[in-house]
Copies of this chain bind each other. A is one copy, B any other.
Amino acid sequence: MAPRNAPLYTQPADWVREQIRSGELPPGSEVPTERDLADQFGVSRATAARALDLLVTEGLISPGQSRAGRQVRHAELLAIYASRSESMDHRTTAGVDAWVSDTTSAGRSPGQTIEISVVHAPDWIAEWLEVEPMASVAVRRRLRTLDGQISNTADTYYPMWVTTEVPEILDPSDIPQGALALMAERGLRTESYVDALRWRTPTPEEARTLEISQGVSILAQVRTGYTDSKPIHLTRTLWPGDTIELRYEVPA
């Protein structure tokens, strides 16, 4: 199976991976310690550690912290429909936040906290929103949880002229029907989206917020909403890269 000259650390890695795959090590259970693995395979602790690091980047086990050790991660792949050709219009007007409705219908328990602030727009935001660099923009920062675990962060930026039309945006409480529906009521109906998807390593701050290790990468989804070819909002959602499947349903 393995190539002739495979590195030594692939042996412990393959063994633990197989233990997980077969169910011998169920989700949540303790992974053998580096020292135990080293003894078992007759390798140094560094080699055993490298094997486990491999499984961490594969998302199979947690990084482990001091005495707590490493555990087998729950392999719940979250499938999110980022666009749905029929119900998109329904979602933005149904009076329910899309995140809440999507995850609830999947049998999960979502939650979110909201913070409002006004910041100077970084270059990439200014470019998408077509405002001057360093211009003031309003931000609604949402930290979303799923079944009590941190799932993603969603920061929505609005040009200031939009907030004068829809001042509720600056209110740090939940907007029951969703901000998009509220904007539509004021004549700012989102007519089209552009999503830009990038996959990168997190900054230390992002890694801390999402409670992931630096080895795991993240998916940055930047959604810009337009009305009359004019950008009116931008949402950057950061997902842990290995637990998410994004789906787009589009007419041809």
A residues apposed to B, CB below 8 Å: 3, 57-59, 77, 79, 82-83, 85, 88-89, 92, 189-201, 204, 215, 217, 219, 225, 241-242, 244-252
Contact = CB atoms under 8 A, between A and B. Distances in A.
27 contacts: A57-B201, A57-B215, A59-B200, A79-B196, A82-B248, A83-B250, A85-B192, A88-B250, A92-B252, A191-B251, A192-B250, A192-B251, A192-B252, A193-B249, A193-B251, A194-B249, A195-B247, A195-B249, A195-B250, A196-B246, A197-B246, A197-B247, A198-B245, A199-B199, A199-B242, A200-B242, A248-B248
Given A195-B247, A197-B247, A201-B58, A225 B241 contact: no
Contacts of A251: 88, 191-193
A248 B245 contact: no
Given A88-B250, A248-B83, A219 B199 contact: yes
A128 to B, nearest CB: 11
Given A58-B201, A215-B57, A196 B250 contact: no
A147 to B, nearest CB: 21
